[in-house]
Amino acid sequence: MSSWLKVGNWVKVCEAEDIPLFEGRRTQIKGLYVGVFRTEDGFYAIGDVCPHMGGPLSDGIITGTEVSCPLHNRRVVLKTGEMKDDLLCRVPAFPVEVRDGMVYVDVSVLEEIPA
């Protein structure tokens, strides 16, 4: 999932069928690792580097709409990027759309954050 195409603010990252149910995949957009996840509730995209010690969240176990970091099992809410066990830490959460069987992610929310 390293190739992508920018359409407006949306970046096409893969075909929906590339991500099986209850799995995640890592992609890179504008130098940022983004984890794209498929749940029974739909697709989600969050920053893919765990704020604890850098674990790849896209390799974690999905339960409902949460993913557990594969290194130390901290849980991240896929809708918001909040860490369930550490309210001081979070990863960014990005809008996701599926159009014509393709998954698009919008990471422009990061550009709105002042430096």
Residue closer to ligand FES (CB basis): 71 or 102: 71
Give the residue with the Cβ less far from ligand FES, 50 or 93.
50
CB of 92 vs ligand FES, minimal distance in Å: 16
Among 53, 98, 109, 110, binds ligand FES (CB under 6 A): 53
Please give the residues from 74 up to 103 whose contact with ligand FES meets the rule CB under 6 A: 74
From CA 108, how far away is CA 115, in angstroms rounded?
Answer: 14
Residues in a beta bridge with 76: 67, 83
Query: Are 18 and 1 within 8 A, CB to CB?
Result: yes
Distances (CA, A) of 44 to 30, 34, 54, 114, 115: 18, 10, 19, 24, 26
Instruction: State which of residues 13, 46, 50, 62 lies at the interface with ligand FES (CB under 6 A).
Output: 50
Residue 72 engages ligand FES in binding (rule: CB under 6 A) = yes
Report whether 41 contacts 59 (CB < 8 A).
no
Residue of 12, 52, 79, 90 that binds ligand FES (CB under 6 A): 52
Element (H, E) at 112: none
> Which residue ranges make up the site for ligand FES (CB under 6 A)?
50, 52-55, 69, 71-72, 74
